[in-house]
Structures are given as C-alpha cells and as structure tokens.
C-alpha cells in the first residue's frame, strides 16, 4: 500500500510544468505540448520515488487518455463537420444571412444570446461552438469585430446554455454526484449565472458599439457578401442542415450520431447543391476546404476544417490527459486539494475553496469532468458537517469547474475552442466575461451568506446515517 503523497512532492510536477510552460509558450512563443510532456515526466519521476512501479504509472497515463477519448472523437467529427459545412455552402449561407440581418453594433450581444438559446436547447457548449460558433466567427470577422471578442461572446453564450440546461452532461454530473435534485440544482444556479450573463451582455453592448464604430467598413461587408455569392450557392434550404442537427441533439440524440448526420448532409450539399466533385467532397472531409476567391476575408474564413486540422488539438488533449491521469491516480491532486481544505474554516472559505479547487483541477488535470468529480468527492462530507445543503456544493462545482475550464490552454475545452474557433485561450480570456464573472459572484455570495442554504439538522443526520449504511453494506 502506497503512503499518502506529501504536498511538497505533489506540487513538484505542477511547478515544473508551469515554469516550462511559461518559458516555452510566453517567452519563446512555442506550443504547449512539450511543456506538458515535461510535466508528465516530472510526475512519473515523483511517482516512482514514492514507490509506484512503472507499470502502474503507465496505466495511470492510459486511464487519463481513456477519459479523453470521447472528447477526442467529438473533436475529430467537429473538424469533419466544419469542412463539410464549408464545402456544402452551409457556413457561407449562415454568414450571408447573418451579415444581412444582424446589426454590427449589436453583434456581440446577438451572438451571445443565440449561442445561449441553442446551447440551452441541446445541452452542449461544444456542439454549439462547433456549429453556430463557427458561423458566428465568420460573421463577426466580416464585420470587423476582433476575433478574441467574437470568440469570448460565443463562449459566454455557449457555456451559459450548457450550464443551465437539464440536458447538459456537466449539469447532470454535478447534481448526481452531490445527490441534488437536477432542477433544484439548476434553480440554485440562477442566482450566480443570470447576474453573470447580465454583466456579460452589458459589456458586449459597449464593446460592440466601440468595435463597430472603429472597425466597421460597409464596403468590406458588401465585398464579402458579393464574394460569397460568387463562390457559393446561397440557399435557405441549406439552413435545414444546422437546424436538423440542433433538433436531433435537443431530442437527446447523442452528439456523435448527430454530428455524423450533419457531416453526411454537408457532404451531399457540396455535391448536389454546390456542384462539387465527389472526390473533392471526400478530400474536404479530411483536408478541409480550399478556396482562392480574391477576397482576403473570405479566403481566411473558408480555408479551414477537415479531420486533419484537428490533429494538433487531438495530440494536445491526449498529452494533457496523460499528465492529469498521473496526478489524479497517484494522489498528487488530492494532496494539493487537502492543503486548500486547511484554509476552509468558515462557510465562505469552504465555498471559495471549492471554486478554487475546481479551477486548480482544471489546470492540473486538463479536463472539466475531473474538476467536478474530484472536488465533489472531497467536499461532500465537509458540506454536510457544516450543515450546508448539497445544492451549494453542486453550484460551486459548476461555477468553478464547468466555467473555468476554458481558461487553461491545455484543458480539453480550451483545446477544442482553439481548434474550432481558431483563437487561443490567452487571447479570448478577457472577453469570456460570463466564465469569470460567475465564479467571482459565487465567492461573493459565499462570504456574504446570500443564497447559501442550510441543511435541516434532521435531514443532515439522515444523510449521515444513510452514508454509513452504504459504507458498511
């Protein structure tokens, strides 16, 4: 039996990774893959010095990778979806009508609301960003709005809907792990998430007005519209493709078959509506779409997509999860979180520590699901001891775990966003306003006591008795 990992040893791999990351990414402007490999090597050495055999350490890496496999499959399918939808004219049609209908000054507000509604309907931020988000980036860039702003608005809207949807896997996970009624959990999140959305929309209103006044050139927009008409068949029929995918997911069709249907429809659209060759349509799915329209904006937007374009993203996700797998299964992560627990003497500190622990887990393990699962295990009994209702914990898990996953460049969520929207976490972070406003609001509530619900003594005792019975069974 292995000894409990001491904190000073547990922090070594994280420190090595962060220092290496700082030099490689910030100083030398390199990619984060190698620093993560260095961090993984440091974690493996620490684990070996603690008595773990290489066979065990290797299995921990594989466990981390296995956890990332569903995300990897979706990432690859989204790459093919983007290629199919560009080649089929779906993205061009969405951008065309978006430029015709949406006011540039209200674009950021509008795209946030649209992404929020779609994500709320289907329960998936990734599916929203990989479909509506891609078109939104095209519309925003065509209007002269900076890419980081557009990405931030798309992320805020997508994560609002994901967090508040009863169809969302993270929402179901947070409520299930804490034994909180799903809809009671969602209602309790209203107190932090709605003010966060209001702050985000207010900021986007003023940012949008400023961006439109400084970056908008109506001749550029008209040139983009003309170029779209020259190079693609624009048809309202093509809007059926994204609508059908959204409806499928909303009706609880799993993401993979829904995306596969979208790819197939885009593939057919490229052949039968755009008049493309079958071989070219297959090539688009793998290598992405290629165009030389003579319009710089259109070329930048539409030379994209394909399975191949996601291999950078896939490799980063796999490496990040090997690092996270070693940290979690050797007890290093738990040792770090235990130190945070020493700070949690009051209700305010406990909830603030939960939010912070979720963020730390996102940084160290690079996966938002782990950032919900691990802290939920570690804090559940402490919340009961302090007679706090489980919905306080479930809300803190989502406020700190689901939302902050986008800020760590090597986290699977940020990796997905980079591959899909083409904007790095360091660039969009200041504009993903909902994602950092909500955790701050959550911590403020914790220290003021507002919306913090106490657990009746009789209920707390019953839960403790139930837990002891289950443990002895």
Closest-CA residue to 91 (of 261, 232, 264): 232
Task: Establish if 281 belongs to a structural domain.
Answer: yes
Amino acid 471: pLDDT: 45
Q: Are 240 and 85 in contact (CB under 8 A)?
A: no
3-state SS assignment for residue 187: helix
Task: Establish if 230 belongs to a structural domain.
Answer: yes
Neighbour-count burial of 311, counting CB atoms closer than 10 A to its CB (0-12 exposed, 13-18 middle, 19+ buried): middle
Amino acid 445: pLDDT: 96
Closest-CA residue to 25 (of 409, 319, 432, 364): 409
Both tokens of residue 375?
């802290």
DSSP 135-155: HHHHHHHHTT--HHHHHHHHH
Task: Establish if 10 belongs to a structural domain.
Answer: no
Q: What are phi and psi of 228, to 5 degrees?
A: -60, -40
Task: Establish if 57 belongs to a structural domain.
Answer: no
Amino acid 463: pLDDT: 65
> Tell me: the pLDDT tens digits for 393-442?
999 999 999 999 999 988 889 989 999 999 999 999 999 999 999 999 99
Q: Are 91 and 134 in contact (CB under 8 A)?
A: yes
Amino acid 1: pLDDT: 46
Q: Number of folded domains in the chain?
A: 1
SS (H, E, C) 455-472: CCHHHHHHHHHHHHHHHH
Task: Establish if 234 belongs to a structural domain.
Answer: yes
Amino acid 404: pLDDT: 95
Task: Establish if 338 belongs to a structural domain.
Answer: no
Segments of the chain scoring below 50 in pLDDT = 1, 471, 473
Range of the domain at 144: 68-311
Q: What is the mean pLDDT of the chain?
A: 88
Task: Establish if 306 belongs to a structural domain.
Answer: yes
Distance (Å, whole) CA 158 – CA 301: 21
Amino acid 370: pLDDT: 78
Task: Establish if 355 belongs to a structural domain.
Answer: no
Alpha-carbon distances of 47 from 279, 305, 383, rounded to whole Å? 50, 40, 31
Amino acid 469: pLDDT: 61
């Amino acid at each position: 039996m292995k000894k409990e990992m001491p904190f000073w040893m547990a922090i070594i791999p994280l420190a090595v990774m962060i220092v290496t990351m700082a030099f490689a990414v910030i100083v030398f402007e390199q990619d984060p893959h190698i620093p993560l490999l260095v961090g993984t090597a440091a974690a493996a050495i620490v684990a070996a010095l603690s008595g773990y055999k290489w066979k065990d350490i290797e299995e921990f890496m594989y466990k981390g990778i296995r956890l990332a496999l569903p995300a990897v499959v979706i990432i690859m399918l989204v790459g093919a979806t983007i290629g199919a939808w560009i080649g089929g004219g779906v993205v061009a049609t969405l951008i065309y009508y978006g430029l015709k209908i949406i006011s540039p000054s209200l674009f950021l507000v509008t795209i946030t609301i649209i992404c929020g509604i779609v994500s709320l309907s289907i329960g998936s931020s990734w599916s929203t960003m990989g479909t509506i988000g891609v078109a939104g980036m095209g519309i925003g860039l065509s209007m002269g709005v900076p890419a980081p702003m557009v990405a931030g608005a798309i992320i805020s809207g997508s994560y609002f809907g994901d967090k508040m949807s009863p169809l969302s896997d993270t929402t179901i996970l947070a409520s299930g792990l804490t034994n909180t009624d799903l809809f009671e959990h969602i209602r309790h999140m209203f107190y932090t998430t709605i003010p966060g959305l209001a702050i985000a929309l207010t900021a986007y209103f003023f940012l949008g007005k400023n961006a439109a006044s400084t970056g908008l050139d109506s001749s550029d927009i008209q040139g983009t519209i003309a170029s779209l008409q020259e190079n693609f068949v624009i048809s309202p029929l093509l809007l059926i493709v994204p609508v059908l995918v959204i409806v499928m997911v909303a009706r609880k069709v799993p993401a993979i078959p829904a995306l596969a249907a979208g790819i197939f429809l885009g593939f057919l659209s490229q052949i039968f509506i755009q008049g493309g060759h079958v071989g070219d349509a297959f090539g688009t799915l793998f290598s992405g779409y290629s165009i030389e329209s003579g319009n710089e904006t259109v070329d930048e937007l539409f030379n994209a997509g394909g399975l191949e374009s996601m291999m950078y993203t896939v490799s980063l996700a796999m490496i990040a999860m090997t690092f996270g797998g070693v940290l979690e299964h050797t007890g290093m992560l738990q040792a770090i979180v235990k130190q945070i627990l020493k700070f949690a003497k009051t209700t305010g500190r406990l909830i603030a520590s939960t939010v912070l622990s979720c963020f730390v887990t996102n940084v160290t393990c690079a996966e938002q699901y782990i950032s919900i699962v691990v802290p939920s295990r570690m804090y559940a009994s402490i919340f009961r001891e302090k007679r706090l209702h489980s919905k306080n914990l479930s809300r803190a898990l989502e406020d700190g775990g689901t939302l902050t996953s986008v800020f760590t460049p090597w986290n699977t969520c940020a990796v997905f966003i980079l591959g899909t929207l083409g904007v790095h976490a360091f660039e969009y972070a200041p504009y993903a306003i909902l994602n950092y406003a909500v955790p701050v609001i959550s911590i403020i509530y914790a220290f003021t006591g507002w919306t913090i619900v106490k657990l009746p003594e009789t209920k707390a005792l019953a839960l403790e008795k139930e837990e002891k019975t289950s443990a002895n069974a």
